[in-house]
Structure 1
């Protein structure tokens, strides 16, 4: 895998809200999986929208292919084919865009923002089809919105068997503090110290508010320095565009879609990203509610 040589590396933005914006079939609880099932050409359109905006990495649309979103019955019956389709759609989109890479999304299989629901025994069987059915079409793994060290360790151990690099992206508490913490309450410093290195070549932070990401980066960089990994492991951020999310609250859950902020314009988002780059990030992009217009602004930082 050859990463872009000019920094920062630009990721894509949020799949779900872009699907909604362009008029794709969109409903809860299926979220971004609904378009994959009903009208997959919209998935390709979103990938192309982000590539046209300057994204150098697109992420497979497998985040919602878990029981919480599509149910156990549909997952058992259609999951493998849907995962394969999502990976193929992404791969097909980069065939005509030289240099763009495909990240194989590994979601929090038992629920976003809910480390209290995580169990290795329950999660492992759900992880297997996500790995096996994407592996042929992805350049590396991107474990997203990881809320605990235990979940990160499980993903790290499993993806090491694939001989593909792994990027682990943690979600942190939406609280302004001097010490950044995962949604599990574990410190970012401890998480990075335990997870970075070996097959994990990048540590990122995603799906948290823009205001809390700089502290997470500072703590992560301190951990890399303490481990002597500052030249081996990259850091990155792709924040969401939601108001702060509290304890025991999933994003976009049955209570309705999370509100998109109106105070984080593309130019404002770029200002936050510039601060993250100064704090050590070499990989930047966007999560939920971050549009191609936001990514286009980030591409100006190259």
Structure 2
């Protein structure tokens, strides 16, 4: 098994927790606009916790959060700032820390029914352009459908930077035939597409921990059958199950009381044993959770050896 890569945790929730400017509709983008030092503080907290990669605070840089006029006027410059902040923190670290370029779902999180390739191109274009100088790999997050991943590959092109594709899963219930994307498409098809698109990693994020193991197993079976060099990763959220008509970041959902750092680490151990070699956290998973994973790194890798 590949050595473990530890990702950071959620950014928006952590900004809110430390007192950064935070409200709807801007969400985590508000700190970029009004107080970017808070963004650097969050990045540093994850580096201090032991993360091997920190994620640019670009998830909310879409018209849904910024509004059309602000996106057109400031979307690219805000993305450049998000990239610069993460880059600076990563390069000031005494150890190697990578920068993941967050590419958000363009037409609504959890809403494959709203996706439009034309609209997606319009939104991703300036984000990719602005982030490219600062990122070590692309991380397309919370994808709900295969066509969203296809568009990301089109937009980043073949620029030499690894592409990580991360899908969100149906988590109100586990389908009888296994884990599925929020579009209803299968995890197996997502794995086959990731291989076809030349992705370096296939991840699952922004879904509850209970559905992740089945997704890892399904993806790992495809990877083995294809003999592919595709890493598998997980970063779950701390929300209760989300219904099919939910929209991520439309409000502050309650955080599950049971997902303490030790309990989350129990899930991490399961995911790693099933084949996940990239693990972090999404919404509601903070630096203390990442620190618990980092402290268990040698034990996890020892069991996998």
TM-score normalised to structure 2 length: 0.94
Alignment correspondent of 2:124: 127
Write out per-residue CA displacement over residues 246-271 of structure 1, whole angstroms, 9 at most, x where no aligned residue.
Answer: 11111231xx3111110110000000
Does the CA-based 8 Å contact 1:60-1:105 persist in structure 2? yes
Does the CA-based 8 Å contact 1:83-1:130 persist in structure 2? yes
Q: Does 1:79 align with 2:78?
A: no
Greater displacement, 177-186 / 59-68: 177-186
Does the CA-based 8 Å contact 2:2-2:277 persist in structure 1? no
How many Å apart are 1:198 and its aligned residue? Answer: 5.1
How many Å apart are 1:183 and its aligned residue? Answer: 0.1
Does the CA-based 8 Å contact 1:8-1:301 persist in structure 2? no
The separation in 2 between residues aligned to 1:176 and 1:251, in whole angstroms, is 19
What residue ranges of structure 1 are gaps of 5+ in the alignment? none
The separation in 1 between residues aligned to 2:197 and 2:241, in whole angstroms, is 33
The separation in 2 between residues aligned to 1:121 and 1:26, in whole angstroms, is 30
How has the CA–CA distance of structure 1 residues 96 and 6 changed in structure 2, closer, same or farther, with 3 Å as cutoff? farther
Which residue, out of 230, 255, 261, partners 1:260? Answer: 255
The separation in 2 between residues aligned to 1:122 and 1:94, in whole angstroms, is 32
Alignment correspondent of 1:181: 180
Does the CA-based 8 Å contact 1:251-1:257 persist in structure 2? no
The separation in 1 between residues aligned to 2:146 and 2:248, in whole angstroms, is 20
The separation in 2 between residues aligned to 1:225 and 1:160, in whole angstroms, is 26
The separation in 2 between residues aligned to 1:196 and 1:260, in whole angstroms, is 34
The separation in 2 between residues aligned to 1:9 and 1:301, in whole angstroms, is 12
TM-score normalised to structure 1 length: 0.95
Does the CA-based 8 Å contact 1:140-1:164 persist in structure 2? yes
| Residue aligned with 1:161, SS | coil
Does the CA-based 8 Å contact 2:201-2:231 persist in structure 1? yes
The separation in 1 between residues aligned to 2:98 and 2:257, in whole angstroms, is 31
How many Å apart are 1:44 and its aligned residue? Answer: 0.1
Alignment correspondent of 1:142: 139
| Residue aligned with 2:133, SS | helix
How many Å apart are 1:196 and its aligned residue? Answer: 2.2
How many Å apart are 1:215 and its aligned residue? Answer: 0.3
Which residue, out of 228, 232, 236, partners 1:235? Answer: 232
The separation in 2 between residues aligned to 1:291 and 1:261, in whole angstroms, is 13
Which residue, out of 29, 33, 42, partners 1:33? Answer: 29
Alignment correspondent of 1:274: 269
Alignment correspondent of 1:61: 57
The separation in 2 between residues aligned to 1:272 and 1:89, in whole angstroms, is 31
Write out per-residue CA displacement over residues 201-228 of structure 1, whole angstroms, 9 at most, x where no aligned residue.
Answer: 0000000000000000011111112222
The separation in 2 between residues aligned to 1:119 and 1:109, in whole angstroms, is 8
Which residue, out of 14, 34, 41, partners 1:18? Answer: 14
How many Å apart are 1:197 and its aligned residue? Answer: 4.9
Aligned residues: 294
How many Å apart are 1:158 and its aligned residue? Answer: 2.4
Does the CA-based 8 Å contact 2:150-2:197 persist in structure 1? no
How has the CA–CA distance of structure 1 residues 82 and 283 changed in structure 2, closer, same or farther, with 3 Å as cutoff? same
CA root-mean-square deviation: 1.3
